[in-house]
Structure 1
Amino acid sequence: MVSRVIPVDPFDLVVFGGTGDLARRKILPGLYRRYVAGQIPEGSRIIGSARGDMDDAGYRDFASEAISEFLDGTKRDPQSVARFLDHLYYVPTDARGENGWPDLAKRVRADVVQAFYFSVAPSLFGDLAERLHRHGIAGPEARIVVEKPFGRDLETAKELNATLAEHFDESQIYRIDHYLGKETVQNLMAVRFANILFEPLWNARHVDHVQITVAETVGVGGRGAYYDTSGAMRDMVQNHLMQLLCLIAMEPPYRFDPDAVRDEKLKVIRALLPAAPEDIVRGQYRGRTGKGSPKQASYSEDAENPSSTTESFIAMKVHIANWRWKGTPFYLRTGKRLRGRASEIAIVFKEVPHSIFGDEEGWRENVLSIRLQPDEGMTLSVMIKEPGPGGMRLTEVPLDMSFAEALGEDGADIPDAYERLIMDVIRGNQTLFMRGDEVEAAWAWTDPLIAAWEARGDKPKGYDAGSSGPEDALMLLHRDERRWREIRE
């Protein structure tokens, strides 16, 4: 199967923080891949901007090094790289001063799509937005892309939204969450709403429970100082996991339209019941001494805070107060330094009301597993007869769709989430981006939970690096006579 590539209109994309880590790792290599795929038309320009002094040639060297570092040799060739680099420019600017802005105004054209990527700290968003308008750079249909964190709590999220709203309409603001750009996340909507098979079963009558797991093998590393003021709840649950939960639980929108989809997601967040204290488990990874295995620092060592009570792991059970999901628990789990790297949504269906084969056959539930990483795809486990004579013996088998296998060689090279989302910005499609009221509703649900455990003085449970998390997280499901899906190494 050959995927179709639909070019976008010519554009000027300004990347503020254009020499930063995100630009180097994701934005520039991703844009190169879109150029090679034929999606970026000639006449488009990518303009890096940061405080450091650099000229166009220097920025092209920077981008060339980034492409070489983050794309293997099979995904680049010297001629294509050279042609792509011809589209790159650089203008030094000072986000909080006046230096460089007149030069940037001369570079950005008014007769093409204008997009401005704020790959900088949120504290600079307002300064950038104000100067873009004061210097007449951003036109009435310009688009801005802002990275998380979208505030640290409800109050700061409202302040941030208000700051952006002073200069840009909500239809111009693209709050990016790279999880929503993953192929499998979008296929979740296709599976639900483009097939008659699943939607009639997608409710509390047929679904026993839902598990959402985002596990990482790395620790907080160089992000320790930032992470210690955030924690897993703010860093992952409030945004990534919340968005995945919404896509699973939402009602069918009246059409595949940005506001129609986001209206339904907002209803899910507002229907979330507060999680009880006993339904939340917080953990913090311990270090390794090096005996029999490589030495690893503990969370408190990585964060350089021996008395830290910030969680590097969280597991919780939540319920949605609506007709579709009444009584069906959703279990959320995410953490650092776990056994394996995996992002998975598991829809666990109920057992058949009556098994004609008897209990001794070890009947298992049907599970639809949606893998976001590392191997994007979907698996549906079903029961079949075990081959061979000797009676009716049942065994579980997977109906497995790996995108790399199902779509062939052309489909195996799936675009990175950032590639897809940046192209959606150029198209003006906000479906996979968060709206301001979504962000505020998520914080309104999250804030009281954080305030409650801080008031109680709760401390995270310790867990070994390379494990599945604290024992209390296992008990969260065991007491409901369920168990977590295995995190594989």
Structure 2
Amino acid sequence: MTPSSNKTHNNKTPPPIKGRVGPQEASGDNCRLETPGAFGLIVFGASGDLSKRKIMPAVFRLQTLGLLPDDFYILGSGRSDIADEGFRSTIKESLEKSLPRNFNEKNWEAFSSRLYYQSIGYDDLEAYAALKKRIDSIEPNYQTGGNRIFYLAVPPHVYEPAIGHLVAAGLAKENKGYTRIVIEKPFGHDLESSRSLNTRIAAGFGEHQVYRMDHYLAKETVQNILMFRFANSIFEPLWNNRFVDHVQITVSESLGVEHRAGYYERSGVIRDMFQNHILQLLALTAMEPPSSLDADSIRDEKVKVFRSVRPFDLDRLEDTIVVGQYGQGAVDGSLVDAYRDEPGVTPNSTTPTYCAMKVFVDNWRWNGVPFYMRSGKRLKRRMAEIAVSFKAPPHQMFDAMLGEHIEPNVLVMRIQPDEGVELSFQTKQPGSRVCLTPVEMDFSYQNVFSLEAYERILLDCMAGERLLFVREDGVEATWGMLTPVINRLEERPRPEEFPNYAAGSQGPDNALAMMVKDSRRWRRI
């Protein structure tokens, strides 16, 4: 990408919040979002749910914010047999629903003129040859220089045939410009399948071309973990086993499986949430300082964390892992069905919808510090956070006077729904008596301009910034950690034990007991 193909975003409303993490000077101009060079975005599964709910709205909003170049096009591709106008009509309807504040006819006209569609059978090699001809016919109108991004918004079982046919049709080559491929999680079903997928990718694409997407990494608070730790000298010296008692990582959902029962029955919560989102949060929290803030240096340190996690004792999984499945209950005052009563779910399903894990990172920094991680569906509310609980003062001089235990300091990085950071600490209540009360310092992103996760991660892909994407060795390291656990749990299904928590609750009693056994307690969901 040549300097002439860039433009700096300095004439729109958003203030200078930097779109990507990297070495930069203190001046505001260096913190502004930069527009990428010209490109073509080819979306497989373009008429599907993910494209209509996330991808197209993200690209549309980026254009309305002035963050895209003058020259770009989108070629939708999928099994639906529709023409360009039919595709545009479908996308227009979805944008009107998802972005009512941004949508107007002027913005739509500027966007829709760049939309095209090519039907394709994912197993049909000849269809990929036709796709290549269509791309070649569109590109000269937009002066993209051959820059192409292939986005696989398709079911996971389509990944390998689609990738293989892209390679066979010559669409993986980088002739004039760049060629990139974006793959949504899950990256495989277990360690063996993830290796198979990576092998298929490597047969035609270089690792520098591959963008494995985990949209959680694009959330502002997740990105801020690195800045918070390594740019503030008051916290990093405390970030170790001398001062930290334990860490809790929570990603809870109030929704059920919705329309994803077919996928979820094959996956369950460990594959769906732990292999990617939650272990990425663990790595960012526990990693050592990288040598620099470039993508590979950070990903090197994350992989070191995965390799330092103590292997699970498969004969005593109950000591470190609790799984659950939601039953009937009430969420936000409305009665909801049990998981087994959801459409598409097997009546005696043993698929876990909840999991809590206790892990240890066996290195000098974290030796002896437990990391408690949990995720589940149909819990009390939607919430995602990392809570670092510090140790209590070594000498509790106030115990005798106050007659109660003093709560330790807790640093909470909120990921959703209210992104921000808060720190709790003790202060004296006003008055003549010595009484303590906890107070909080709080920073929220609510009133700060920031891009949505898909907007941010797509913009970084267009710019060639790979920090927010997962590398091959990181994928295999996480699957290597979890596959033995998943296999052991699936070897001994116990349908009579499910359901074991009510929808709208805090989760299974066994998960609460796991913390009580360690003289700790979960934070409230």
Partner SS state of residue 157, structure 2: helix
Tell me, yes or no, if structure 1 residue 351 matches structure 2 residue 392.
yes
Deviation for aligned residue 1:449: 1.1
Matched AA of 1:203: N
Distance in 2 separating the partners of 1:374 and 1:227: 23
Q: Partner residue of 1:43?
A: 71
Matches within 5 A, 1:14-163: 14-73=42-101, 75-97=102-124, 98-99=126-127, 100-107=130-137, 109=139, 111-140=145-174, 141-163=178-200
Greater Cα offset, 135-144 or 369-378: 135-144
Q: Partner residue of 2:431?
A: 389
Q: Partner residue of 2:451?
A: 415
Q: Partner residue of 1:230?
A: 267
Which sections of structure 1, spanning at least 5 residues, go unmatched?
none
Partner SS state of residue 469, structure 2: coil
Q: Partner residue of 2:414?
A: 371
Kindly tell me: are residues 307 and 461 of structure 1, through their superposed partners in 2, closer, same or farther at Cα, counting changes over 3 Å?
Answer: closer
Kindly tell me: are residues 455 and 63 of structure 1, through their superposed partners in 2, closer, same or farther at Cα, counting changes over 3 Å?
Answer: closer
Q: 2:500 aligns with which of 462, 476, 482?
A: 462
Q: Partner residue of 1:299?
A: 339
Q: Partner residue of 1:446?
A: 482
Matched AA of 1:254: S
Deviation for aligned residue 1:432: 1.0
Q: Check whether the contact 1:224–1:304 (CA below 8 A) recurs between aligned residues.
A: yes
Q: Check whether the contact 1:313–1:336 (CA below 8 A) recurs between aligned residues.
A: yes
Root mean square deviation of aligned Cα: 1.9
1:400-430 deviation per Cα after TM superposition (whole angstroms, max 9, x unaligned): 101123x3xxx2xx31111111111111111
1:102-125 deviation per Cα after TM superposition (whole angstroms, max 9, x unaligned): 433424637142111011122222
Deviation for aligned residue 1:5: 2.7
Matched AA of 2:108: V
Partner SS state of residue 419, structure 1: helix
Matched AA of 2:189: R
Distance in 2 separating the partners of 1:56 and 1:226: 30
1:366-409 deviation per Cα after TM superposition (whole angstroms, max 9, x unaligned): 111111111111111111222x221332211110101123x3xx
Q: Check whether the contact 2:38–2:145 (CA below 8 A) recurs between aligned residues.
A: no
1:89-145 deviation per Cα after TM superposition (whole angstroms, max 9, x unaligned): 212222211233243342463714211101112222233223333333344231000
Matches within 5 A, 1:284-363: 284-288=325-329, 294-302=334-342, 303-358=344-399, 360=402, 362-363=405-406
1:162-204 deviation per Cα after TM superposition (whole angstroms, max 9, x unaligned): 0111110111111101111111100111101111121111111
Distance in 2 separating the partners of 1:149 and 1:107: 33
Greater Cα offset, 361-370 or 421-430: 361-370
Q: Check whether the contact 1:463–1:469 (CA below 8 A) recurs between aligned residues.
A: yes
1:434-487 deviation per Cα after TM superposition (whole angstroms, max 9, x unaligned): 111111111111011122223344555611110000111111111111110111
Deviation for aligned residue 1:270: 0.7
Deviation for aligned residue 1:71: 1.4
Q: Check whether the contact 1:339–1:467 (CA below 8 A) recurs between aligned residues.
A: yes
Matched AA of 1:248: T
Q: Check whether the contact 1:5–1:38 (CA below 8 A) recurs between aligned residues.
A: no
Partner SS state of residue 232, structure 2: coil
Q: Check whether the contact 1:380–1:398 (CA below 8 A) recurs between aligned residues.
A: yes
Which sections of structure 2, spanning at least 5 residues, go unmatched?
1-13, 17-31
Q: 1:476 aligns with which of 496, 500, 514?
A: 514
Q: Partner residue of 2:21?
A: none
Distance in 1 separating the partners of 2:79 and 2:487: 38
Deviation for aligned residue 1:341: 0.5
Kindly tell me: are residues 311 and 352 of structure 1, through their superposed partners in 2, closer, same or farther at Cα, counting changes over 3 Å?
Answer: same
Q: Partner residue of 1:168?
A: 205
Partner SS state of residue 304, structure 2: helix
Q: Partner residue of 1:437?
A: 473
Distance in 2 separating the partners of 1:484 and 1:317: 12
Partner SS state of residue 433, structure 2: coil
Q: Partner residue of 1:2?
A: 15
Matches within 5 A, 1:173-252: 173-252=210-289
Distance in 2 separating the partners of 1:320 and 1:293: 40
Greater Cα offset, 85-94 or 159-168: 85-94
Moved runs in structure 1, 4+ residues, more than 6 A?
none
Q: Partner residue of 1:424?
A: 460
Partner SS state of residue 79, structure 2: coil
Partner SS state of residue 128, structure 1: helix
Distance in 2 separating the partners of 1:251 and 1:294: 45
Distance in 2 separating the partners of 1:455 and 1:28: 41
Matched AA of 2:441: L
Deviation for aligned residue 1:250: 0.6
Give the share of equivalent positions with the same residue, in percent: 43
Q: 2:423 aligns with which of 380, 402, 411?
A: 380
Deviation for aligned residue 1:328: 0.3
Q: TM-score, normalised by structure 1?
A: 0.93
Q: Check whether the contact 2:45–2:153 (CA below 8 A) recurs between aligned residues.
A: yes
Kindly tell me: are residues 102 and 447 of structure 1, through their superposed partners in 2, closer, same or farther at Cα, counting changes over 3 Å?
Answer: closer
Q: Check whether the contact 1:113–1:426 (CA below 8 A) recurs between aligned residues.
A: no
Matched AA of 1:274: P
Q: Partner residue of 2:442?
A: 400
Q: Check whether the contact 1:5–1:37 (CA below 8 A) recurs between aligned residues.
A: no
Matched AA of 2:366: W
Partner SS state of residue 307, structure 1: coil
Greater Cα offset, 24-33 or 388-397: 388-397
